[in-house]
Amino acid sequence: MFGKRQTFGGNTPGAGVAPRPQPSAPASGSLTVPARTEAVPKPVVDAAVNRLRNEDIVDVRSADAIARDKEYFQTKSAIFNALIDSIDLSQLATMEQEAAREEIRDIVAEIIALKSIVMSISEQEDLLEDICNDVLGYGPLEPLLARDDIADIMVNGSQKCYIEVGGKVKLTNVRFRDDSHLMNVCQRIVSQVGRRVDESSPICDARLPDGSRVNVIAPPLAIDGAALTIRKFKKDKLTLQQLVKYGSISSEGAEVLRILGRVRANVLISGGTGSGKTTLLNCLTAFIDRDERVITCEDSAELQLQQPHVVRLETRPPNLEGEGEITMRDLVKNCLRMRPERIIVGEVRGPEAFDLLQAMNTGHDGSMGTLHANSPREALSRLESMITMGGYSLPSRTIREMITSSIDVVVQAARLRDGSRRITHISEVLGMEGETIVMQDIFLYDILGEDQSGNLTGRHHSTGITKPQFAERARYFNEEANLVEALERSNIEQQTLLKS
Nearer to ligand ATP, 238 or 389 (CB): 238
Min dist CB 190 to ligand ATP, Å, is 19
425 belongs to the binding site for ligand ATP (CB under 6 A): no
Q: Return the biggest CA–CA distance within the chain.
A: 84
Q: Which is nearer to Mg ion, 278 or 462 (CB)?
A: 278
Tell me the closest approach of the beta carbon of residue 271 to ligand ATP, in angstroms.
5
Q: Does 412 bind ligand ATP (CB under 6 A)?
A: no
Among the listed residues 175, 207, 277, 460, the single contact to ligand ATP using CB under 6 A: 277
Which of 1-9, 238-246, 256-264, 286-294 is the region at the interface with ligand ATP (rule: CB under 6 A)? 238-246
Q: Within 315-334, which residues bind ligand ATP (CB under 6 A)?
A: none
Strand 294-298 and strand 310-314: the pairing is: parallel
Backbone angles phi, psi at 173, to 5 degrees: -100, 25
List own/partner pairs for 163-171 with CB under 8 A and 24 or more apart: 164/274, 166/419, 167/415, 167/418, 167/419, 167/420, 167/421, 168/419, 169/419, 170/57, 170/59, 171/57, 171/58, 171/59
Among 157, 276, 350, 390, binds ligand ATP (CB under 6 A): 276
Site map (CB under 6 A) of ligand ATP, residues 149-178, x = contact: --x---------------------------
- 240 makes contact, choosing from ligand ATP, Mg ion, none, with CB < 5 to 8 Å by partner type, with none
Question: Which residue type sits at 301?
Answer: A
Phi, psi of 376 (to 5 degrees): -60, -40
Residue nearest to Mg ion (CB): 278
Name which of Mg ion, ligand ATP, none residue 246 binds, using a CB cut-off of 5 to 8 Å depending on partner kind. Answer: ligand ATP
Please tell me whether residue 238 binds ligand ATP under the rule CB under 6 A: yes
Which of the listed partners (Mg ion, ligand ATP, none) does 402 bind, with a CB threshold of 5 to 8 Å by partner kind?
none
**Given the complex with ligand ATP, which of 225 and 276 has the nearer CB atom?**
276
DSSP string, 384-453: HHHHHHTT----HHHHHHHHHHH--EEEEEEE-TTS-EEEEEEEEEEEEETTEEEEEEEEEEEEEEE-TT
CA distances from 215 to 21, 22, 103, 153, 202 (A): 11, 9, 33, 11, 10
Of 331, 342, 327, 338, give the one whose Cα is nearest residue 267: 342
Which residues between 203 and 232 bind ligand ATP (CB under 6 A)? Answer: 231
Instruction: Tell which phi-psi region holds residue 329, choosing left (phi > 0), alpha (psi between -120 and 50) or beta.
Output: alpha
Per-residue x/- mask for Mg ion, residues 266 to 285, rule CB under 5 A? ------------x-------
Tell the smallest beta-carbon distance from residue 152 to ligand ATP (Å).
7
Binding residues for ligand ATP, rule: CB under 6 A, are 151, 231, 234, 238, 243, 246, 248, 271, 273-279, 421
